[in-house]
């Protein structure tokens, strides 16, 4: 396709995405459904251009105030996913001159807001948490995520999957922390890969893999994934259980649970029972009071730890929504905790970077529930982390935690941002 046509498509898509009326991935998917003639390479170029504009929206919109032509076309040119040489023939002389000036700018030429590309309501709390590392964090959040996969231990070994990928000219490396993860170079499509169709692996961020491992699920246990969603962590937990015992996957979205079914079929798991619940107080939840060995609460949250994958979230979320989220997180955690039997484990997790959704919620729960005691996450991590390459697991585990809680940061650990807290329900006297 001629580069000018690609720019036009990208400009049209950018205009739709920047309304933020729907999640960016849904808007992109609909655009490609409406333009089925576009091939895989064209789709990749157009979508990656749109996502880059969303990531660097503050900077690009500032630059687009100058220069000739429509705003969306200028944004598409600035964020174009490809070489400048490729689009050069499609630019007018004024556009080319303007673009050369834009490309010659550096961070020193911009205000901080144009460098970090984050809304101010996020900037202040993040600066308070990471201090001088804030710009490094912002850069990591504005960098596309790596492609991580989790090997399904029920069906394959990590080394065999790596060799199979290599046979298809896909290079990968062992994830440094997760013993079942591979980091695949580039962004190849894996959906038609034989190993994927056979259920030998799932796409899952390394941090998410570690979080699922914190549940510590064993053979024959009763376990609940309370906010299962599409089931990525459910699948990992089920593999840890070797498809024995019973694993409940609860969620208020029947649609998301429906999407889990083909993944379950591929995985080979037979111990998962899915259930769409009306809310955290659903009767099906109450019937399991004091019966669960382990409960994971992967709570609904702002998703600020996933901006590498979902850059539009930072522009769609309103700060006033956080208060509602925190109330929901506390309610879900309180309800899920009732399912944990004496001696059982409760894990609270988010993919948020914000203290209000993390430490504050965990500390409030601890203060209000003296029948639960905190289990320092580092104590669990040492038995979870990969032993490859002589990793000092105690030092690494300590570096992943702040106090008793897990804190994974994109700029430090090259994962999505995750938080986790663990409690044990005290044994009855």
**CATH number for position 258:** 3.40.50.150
Q: Tell me: pLDDT of 66 over 90.
A: yes
Q: How far apart are CA 161 and CA 150, in angstroms?
A: 10
φ/ψ bin of 239: left (φ > 0), alpha (ψ from -120 to 50), beta (otherwise): alpha
Q: Tell me: pLDDT of 55 over 80.
A: yes
- Structurally, the chain folds into a number of domains equal to 3
Asked if 221 and 295 sit in the same domain, the reply is: yes
Q: Tell me: pLDDT of 426 over 90.
A: yes
> What domain range includes position 260?
206-425
8 A C-beta contact, residue 269 and residue 238: yes
Q: What pLDDT digit, counting tens, does each position of 314-350 carry?
A: 999 999 999 999 999 999 999 999 999 999 999 999 9
Q: b/e map of 203-232 (b: 16 or more CB within 10 Å)?
A: ebbbbbbbbbbbbbbeeebbbbbbbbbbbb
Asked if 218 and 164 sit in the same domain, the reply is: no
Looking at 188, 203, 218, which one is the last position of a domain?
A: 203
In a domain, 413, yes or no: yes
pLDDT band at 84 (very low <50, low <70, confident <90, very high): very high
Q: Tell me: pLDDT of 364 over 90.
A: yes
Asked if 225 and 174 sit in the same domain, the reply is: no
Asked if 230 and 260 sit in the same domain, the reply is: yes
In a domain, 132, yes or no: no
Instruction: Determine the average pLDDT of the residues in 51-68.
Output: 97
Looking at 155, 170, 203, which one is the last position of a domain?
A: 203
Asked if 211 and 355 sit in the same domain, the reply is: yes
Selecting among 102, 227, 351, 401, the annotated active-site residue is 351
3-state secondary structure of 250: strand
Q: Which long-range contacts (CB under 8 A, 24 or more apart) does 266-270 make?
A: 266/196, 266/197, 266/198, 266/199, 267/152, 267/154, 267/155, 267/199, 267/202, 267/235, 267/238, 267/239, 268/152, 268/154, 268/155, 268/199, 268/243, 269/154, 269/235, 269/238, 269/239, 269/243, 270/243
Q: What pLDDT digit, counting tens, does each position of 5-39 carry?
A: 999 999 999 999 999 999 999 999 999 999 999 99
Active site residue 351: yes
pLDDT band at 387 (very low <50, low <70, confident <90, very high): confident
Q: What pLDDT digit, counting tens, does each position of 238-264 carry?
A: 999 999 999 999 999 999 999 999 999
H or E element in which residue 15 lies: helix 3-17
8 A C-beta contact, residue 91 and residue 99: yes
Instruction: Determine the average pLDDT of the residues in 115-132.
Output: 96
In a domain, 57, yes or no: yes
Instruction: Determine the average pLDDT of the residues in 81-107.
Output: 95
Determine the pLDDT at residue 120: 94
Q: What pLDDT digit, counting tens, does each position of 133-182 carry?
A: 999 999 999 999 999 999 999 999 999 999 999 999 999 999 999 999 99
Asked if 257 and 285 sit in the same domain, the reply is: yes
Average predicted confidence (pLDDT) for the chain:
95
**CATH number for position 163:** 3.30.70.1170
Report the percentage of the chain scoring pLDDT > 90: 93
Q: Tell me: pLDDT of 192 over 90.
A: no
Asked if 181 and 249 sit in the same domain, the reply is: no
């Amino acid at each position: 396709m001629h580069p000018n046509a690609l720019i036009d498509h990208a400009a049209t898509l950018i205009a739709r995405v920047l309304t933020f009326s729907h999640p960016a991935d849904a808007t992109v998917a609909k655009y490609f459904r409406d333009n089925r003639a576009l091939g895989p390479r064209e789709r990749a170029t157009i979508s990656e251009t749109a996502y880059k504009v969303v990531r660097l929206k503050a900077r690009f919109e500032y630059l687009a105030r100058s220069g000739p032509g429509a705003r969306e076309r200028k944004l598409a040119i600035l964020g174009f996913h490809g070489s400048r040489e490729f689009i050069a023939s499609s630019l007018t002389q004024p556009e080319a001159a303007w673009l050369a000036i834009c490309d010659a700018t550096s961070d020193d030429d911009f205000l901080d807001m144009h460098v970090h590309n984050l809304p101010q309501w996020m900037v202040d709390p993040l600066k308070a948490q990471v201090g001088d590392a804030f710009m490094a964090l912002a850069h990591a959040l504005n960098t596309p995520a790596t492609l991580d996969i989790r090997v399904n231990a029920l069906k394959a070994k990590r080394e065999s999957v790596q060799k199979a990928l290599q046979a298809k000219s896909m290079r990968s490396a062992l994830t440094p922390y997760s013993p079942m993860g591979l980091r695949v170079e580039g962004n190849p499509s894996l959906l038609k890969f034989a190993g994927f169709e056979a259920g030998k692996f799932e796409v899952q961020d390394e941090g998410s893999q570690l979080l699922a491992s914190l549940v510590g699920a064993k053979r024959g246990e009763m376990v609940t994934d309370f906010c299962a969603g599409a089931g990525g962590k459910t699948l990992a937990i089920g593999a840890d259980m070797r498809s024995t015992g019973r694993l409940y996957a609860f969620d208020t979205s029947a649609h998301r649970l429906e999407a889990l079914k083909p993944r379950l079929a591929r995985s080979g798991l037979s111990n998962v029972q899915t259930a769409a619940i009306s809310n955290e107080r659903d009767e099906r939840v109450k019937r399991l009071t004091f019966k669960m060995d382990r409960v994971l609460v992967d709570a609904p949250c702002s998703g600020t730890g996933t901006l590498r994958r979902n850059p539009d979230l930072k522009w769609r979320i309103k700060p006033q929504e956080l208060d509602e989220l925190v109330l929901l997180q506390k309610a879900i955690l309180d309800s899920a905790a009732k399912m944990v039997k004496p001696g059982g484990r409760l894990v609270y997790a988010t993919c948020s970077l914000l203290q209000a959704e993390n430490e504050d919620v965990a500390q409030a729960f601890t203060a209000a529930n003296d029948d639960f005691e905190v289990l320092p996450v580092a104590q669990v991590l040492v038995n979870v982390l990969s032993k490859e390459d002589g990793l000092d697991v105690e030092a690494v585990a300590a570096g992943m935690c702040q106090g008793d809680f897990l804190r994974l940061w994109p700029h430090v650990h090259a994962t999505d941002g995750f938080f986790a807290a663990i409690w044990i329900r005290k044994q009855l006297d």
